Amino acid sequence: MTLIDGRAIAAAITAEVTETAAKLRESGTAPTLAVLVPTDDDATAWYVRSIERAAKKVGVDCRVVQLEKPTGADVTRELDKLSADPSVHGIICQTPLPEGVTLDDVGAHIDPRKDVDGANPVSLGRLTAGLPTYAPATAAAVLEILKREQVALSGAQVAVVGRSTIVGKPAALLLLGEHATVTVCHSRTKDLAAVTKAADVLVVAVGRAHFIGADHVKPGAVVIDVGTNPTPEGGLVGDVDQAAVEEIAGSITPVPGGVGPVTTSLLLRHTVTAAQS
Amino acid sequence: MTLIDGRAIAAAITAEVTETAAKLRESGTAPTLAVLVPTDDDATAWYVRSIERAAKKVGVDCRVVQLEKPTGADVTRELDKLSADPSVHGIICQTPLPEGVTLDDVGAHIDPRKDVDGANPVSLGRLTAGLPTYAPATAAAVLEILKREQVALSGAQVAVVGRSTIVGKPAALLLLGEHATVTVCHSRTKDLAAVTKAADVLVVAVGRAHFIGADHVKPGAVVIDVGTNPTPEGGLVGDVDQAAVEEIAGSITPVPGGVGPVTTSLLLRHTVTAAQS
């Protein structure tokens, strides 16, 4: 079995982004990603710092806007401000959100031209219609990995386990756009293993540690593990029991070091693309 | 095999719509559907007349706006006007469109609150996100028929053949929202019959007469035939070879008299809903 090197893929994307960012700076534009942080949650702070570091490396300015005990209205007002600010090219908003504002509200207050994590319903609708748009970065990472690994998608049988708006559904739509035959599975799916075992490509995004085992995987299948589940020891494990499937799968993304770094690199790629247009 | 009576389902919906429309009129609002017709195509004119008749029956005013040799800009300008007109509650735009304007442009110029056929990317994005919205009426008709026929959808294996933005994809998303396990198939699907034959519910929207035959259907399956293909004799046939599958399927929607009338009744239901809000 091949372990897919997400960090190497991220590095390749990062190199491209660095080049584009440098050209933008030469022409007088400093590509800028605004990160709205409406929480003092520790895990969020850790993730925001990792985005800051990654942005710095590629020459993207990261403007972290930390809100102290905000109301829902504070969050949407700040998003409106960032949407209207010509020096900001990309906008993402971290969770958890305060009471009085939903993820849907957040999306609706991010200008689609700056919506680098595909949170606005307009972005999602354009994705569904197959129009150019920013897909949610995690879903985009799934497709990017498969393309960089040169996995044949046209006509391939793909199973996506999980139907969230930020990963499962957009990943399924992106893969459908690549002419795969896509089945979306979830908690109500009967005989999940029968469905996943028929898949040439298996994408798992359920948020349950080691949910997918040996019985779920077709021999030789490409497995993309989107899960990042914290362990009691302070580590991370995926939704796939990697030890169990390593003799069966053809290739698999590890956790950590798989989808995660690619996702961050795509957020930055989306930001420089937004700065170019 | 049961033949699903689309006209009876449409009549039941129509009865509900008639009641709501009457209440709206009592309170001083005449629910109004604007139909923009940017073509002198005969088939379109025929369809528009059928909408007018159906609207009249339920007490919805149908305002047909016929444009003579319009430019693309004429079409979007008229949609903007209708979007801004407080006496209009629902807006649909017929095809074929003149040069210089695309279906996507049309959607973007229909106010989402009046977008009774789900043409705006915002509507499609909200549908994808599982938020309240107007789904494209044909896709909504597929779900409405299955619900009125009390077909168990949670955990059911569903195959949708066809991945258009107006039927296949939104129907798949609606069915996913009902907790079905949904596979979307299309022209690049390998061994289509193997996929469709595993489906408890088979939805076909490919636009090819008699594309689905006996080999494609699981015994007892519910088959929803969205196709309306004109015959040389001036009639209509579906995408499913009904004669071939009638000994196998559990139930099927006929063409004509299946999905079509339900679609029209839902356009009108969406319009009175829009007039209520």
User: What integer is the mean pLDDT of A203-226?
Assistant: 98
Q: Are residues B97 and B165 in the same domain?
A: no
Q: What is the mean pLDDT of residues A193-199?
A: 98
A90 and A178 fall within a common domain: no
B-chain residues within 8 Å CB-CB of A188? 154-155, 179-181
Q: Note whether residue A277 is domain-resident.
A: no
In three-state form (DSSP H/G/I as H, E/B as E, the rest C), the secondary structure along chain A is CEECCHHHHHHHHHHHHHHHHHHHHHCCCCCEEEEEECCCCHHHHHHHHHHHHHHHHHCCEEEEEECCCCCHHHHHHHHHHHHHCCCCCEEEECCCCCCCCCHHHHHHCCCHHHCCCCCCHHHHHHHHHCCCCCCCHHHHHHHHHHHHCCCCCCCCEEEEECCCCCCHHHHHHHHHHCCCEEEEECCCCCCHHHHHCCCCEEEECCCCCCCECHHHCCCCCEEEECCCEECCCCCEECCECHHHHCCCCCEECCCCCCHHHHHHHHHHHHHHHHHHC
**HSE-CB of A135 using CA atoms within 13 angstroms:** 26
3-state secondary structure of B184: strand
- Per the annotation, where are the binding residues of B? 162-164, 228
CB-CB: which of B154, B163, B179 is closest to A176?
B163
Residues in chain B: 277
Which residues in chain B have their CB less than 8 angstroms from residue A182's CB? 183-184
Inter-helix orientation angle B259-276/B137-148, to 10° = 110
Shared-domain flag, residues B172 and B85? no
Which band of pLDDT confidence, cut at 50, 70 and 90, is reported for residue A259?
Answer: very high
**Which tokens is A160 given?**
């996506």
Mean pLDDT of A22-36: 98
* Averaged pLDDT, A237-266: 97
Tokens of A33: 């990603």
pLDDT of residue B164: 97
Number of residues in chain A: 277
Instruction: Give the domain range for residue A178.
Output: 137-260
Span A79-90, pLDDT tens digits: 999 999 999 999
What does R_g of chain B's alpha carbons equal in angstroms? 19
CATH of the domain at B105: 3.40.50.10860
Q: Read off the pLDDT band of B227 (50, 70, 90).
A: very high
> Which of B51, B77, B111 marks a domain boundary?
B111
Does the residue A7 lie in any domain?
no
Q: What angle do CA A197, A201, A207 make, to 5 degrees?
A: 80
Residue A182 has its nearest CB partner, among B126, B170, B183, at B183
Report the b/e string of B78-104 with b at 16+ CB within 10 A: bbeebbeeeebbbbbbbeebeeebeeb
Residues of A in contact with B182 (CB under 8 A): 183-184
Tens digit of each residue's pLDDT (9 = 90 or more) over A75-125: 999 999 999 999 999 999 999 999 999 999 999 999 999 999 999 999 999
Q: What is the pLDDT of residues B144-166, one digit of tens each?
A: 999 999 999 999 999 999 999 99
Query: Can you give the pLDDT at residue B273?
Result: 98
Q: d(Cα B39, Cα B16) in Å, to the nearest integer? A: 32
Partner-chain contact A186 B165, CB within 8 Å: no
Question: Angle CA(A122)–CA(B188)–CA(A206) in degrees, nearest 5?
Answer: 55
Taking an 8 Å cut-off on Cβ atoms, the answer to whether A190 and B181 are in contact is: yes
Of B256, B270, B265, B277, nearest to B3 by C-alpha is B256
Residue A241 lies in a domain: yes
pLDDT at A272: 98
Using the 3D structure, point to which of A83, A114, A145 is the last residue of a domain.
Answer: A114
On whether both B92 and B160 belong to a single domain, the answer is no
Token pair, residue B250, equals 């559990």
Facing B188 at nearest CB: one of A126, A179, A188: A179
pLDDT at B125: 97
Residues 6 or more apart whose Cβ sits within 8 Å of residue B141: B259, B262, B263, B266
Q: What CATH number does residue B252 fall under? A: 3.40.50.720
Chain B residues touching A154 at Cβ < 8 A = 188
* Cα angle A50-A54-A56, degrees, rounded to a multiple of 5: 115
Q: Which residues on adjacent β-strands are paired with residue B61?
A: B32
Q: Is the CB of residue A154 less than 8 Å from the CB of residue A181?
A: no
Angle, helices A137-148/A259-276, rounded to nearest 10 degrees: 110
| Statement to judge: residues A42 and A157 lie in one domain | no
Neighbours of A102 (CB within 10 A): 12
Q: Which residues of B touch A104 (CB under 8 A)?
A: 129, 131
- Please report whether residue B7 resides in a domain: no
- Residue carrying the six token digits 């379109």: B44
Task: Please give the pLDDT value at position A206.
Answer: 98
Tell me, yes or no, whether A145 and A109 share the same domain. no
Q: Give me the numbers of helices (H) and strands (E) for chain B, helices first please.
A: 10, 11
Q: Does residue A228 share a domain with residue A155? A: yes
- Asked whether the bond before B256 is cis by omega within 30 degrees of 0, the reply is yes
Interface residue B188 vs chain A (CB under 8 A): yes
DSSP SS3 for B32: strand
CB-CB neighbors (< 8 A) of A165 in chain B: 128-130
Q: What is the mean pLDDT of residues B95-108?
A: 95
Please indicate, yes or no, if residue A230 is contained in any of the structural domains: yes
- pLDDT value at position A49? 97
pLDDT one-digit tens code per residue, A52-62: 999 999 999 99
Are A39 and A88 part of one and the same domain?
yes
Structure tokens, A69? 């005990």
Rounded Cα distance, A163 and A175, in Å: 14
pLDDT value for B11? 98
Q: What are phi and psi of B161, to 5 degrees?
A: -100, 115
Phi, psi of A173 (to 5 degrees): -70, -40
Q: How many domains does chain B divide into?
A: 2
Collapsed DSSP state (helix, strand, coil) of residue B230: strand
- The pLDDT assigned to B10 comes to 98
Structural domain includes residue A123: no
| pLDDT of res. A152 | 98
Does residue B47 belong to any structural domain of this protein? yes
- pLDDT bracket for residue B263 (50, 70, 90): very high
pLDDT range class, residue A66, cuts 50, 70, 90:
very high
A90 neighbors A116 (Cβ within 8 angstroms): yes
Q: Confirm if B89 and B32 have CB atoms less than 8 A apart.
A: yes
Q: What is the pLDDT of residues B110-131, one digit of tens each?
A: 999 999 999 999 999 999 999 9
Cβ of A185 within 8 Å of Cβ of B181? The answer is yes
* Chain A, nearest residue to B198 by Cα: A195
Same domain, A167 and A251: yes
Q: CA angle, corner A41, sides to A7 and A57, nearest 5?
A: 30
B181 vs A: CB within 8 A: yes
ipTM over 0.90: yes
Pair (B145, B96) in one structural domain? no
Contact A257, A141 (CB under 8 A): no
Summarize pLDDT for B35-91 with one digit per residue, the tens. Answer: 999 999 998 999 999 999 999 999 999 999 999 999 999 999 999 999 999 999 999
Calculate how close chain B gets to A199, using CA atoms only, in Å: 12
Q: Measured between CA atoms, how close is A176 to chain B, in angstroms?
A: 8
Task: Summarize the annotated binding site of B for NADP(+) as residue ranges.
Answer: 162-164, 228
Contact by Cβ (8 Å): A204, A227: yes
Distance between CA atoms of residues A19 and A59, nearest Å:
9
Mean pLDDT taken over chain A: 97
**A15 within some domain:** no
pLDDT, position A74: 97
pLDDT recorded at residue A86 = 98
Q: Select from A105, A161, A184, A191 the residue whose CB has the most chain B CBs within 10 Å, as the one to mutate to test that interface.
A: A184
The reply to whether B141 and B93 lie within a common domain is: no
Instruction: Look at residue A274 in the predicted model and tell me its pLDDT.
Output: 98
- Whether A236 and A169 map to the same domain: the answer is yes
Shortest alpha-carbon distance between residue B165 and chain A (Å) = 5
Chain A closest CA to B58's CA: distance in Å?
Answer: 31
Bridge partners of B3, per DSSP, are B252
